[in-house]
A and B are shown apart, each in its own frame.
Chain A
Amino acid sequence: KAGVTQTPRYLIKTRGQQVTLSCSPISGHRSVSWYQQTPGQGLQFLFEYFSETQRNKGNFPGRFSGRQFSNSRSEMNVSTLELGDSALYLCASSLMPSGGNQPQHFGDGTRLSIL
């Protein structure tokens, strides 16, 4: 059974640019969540999508946005990139929305480096 797939695995951008990351959930999973991992802040929740609707949002500026398509695939976008956005961005999927005592399964992440 294929796991969560994230593309690209590595990305290098410069300050001020924008970036789009992609996530394909496990087949049959309808909930997709995004997390940012940095050495200083650890793993932090960005947002969650279920049935193409954002259900929950973490404490990140509006430069961070996302969407979910009808096939449950999700994208996140970061505009006007800053040096502090350098991080590992992780996508996780689950059968049902979080809060239903369902484990989330993670992809291997996209490593974003801002120069």
Chain B
Amino acid sequence: DQQVKQNSPSLSVQEGRISILNCDYTNSMFDYFLWYKKYPAEGPTFLISISSIKDKNEDGRFTVFLNKSAKHLSLHIVPSQPGDSAVYFCAASASDQGGKLIFGQGTELSVKP
């Protein structure tokens, strides 16, 4: 039972354009959501998070949107840069279920110059 799903294994975007990475979840008890970026041979790097009491959080080029009714979140990267090419994981946790992170399977983003 996959509680967090990233249905697109890969995404290719032109440099300077917007990258939109999507994530769906099934557990309505999730109250904290995070995005991580991972390069090969490195651990995941925390990018941005959002609490369930918000619907948007912005940090520089990165914006996360949360639609609780649709159980959907997305990460927008504007403008996309070649250095953004990596695997992006969304993760979710439920504070009353111990808060452990449940990860999606990841989306590989390729930003072409």
**A-B interface contact total, Cβ < 8 Å:** 68
In the complex, which residues 21-54 of chain A have their Cβ closer than 8 Å to any Cβ of chain B? 33, 35, 42-45, 48
The answer to whether B95 and A42 touch across the interface, beta carbons within 8 angstroms, is: no
Q: Does A82 contact B (CB under 8 A)?
A: no
For the complex, give the distance between the alpha carbons of A35 and B43 in Å: 11
Chain B residues within 8 Å of A4, by CB: 43
Interface size on B, residues (CB 8 A): 28
Interface size on A, residues (CB 8 A): 26
Q: Which residue from chain A places its CB closest to the CB of B50 in the assembled complex?
A: A101
Interface CB pairs A-B, < 8 A, 11: A35-B103, A48-B99, A90-B43, A92-B101, A99-B93, A99-B95, A99-B98, A101-B49, A104-B46, A106-B46, A107-B43
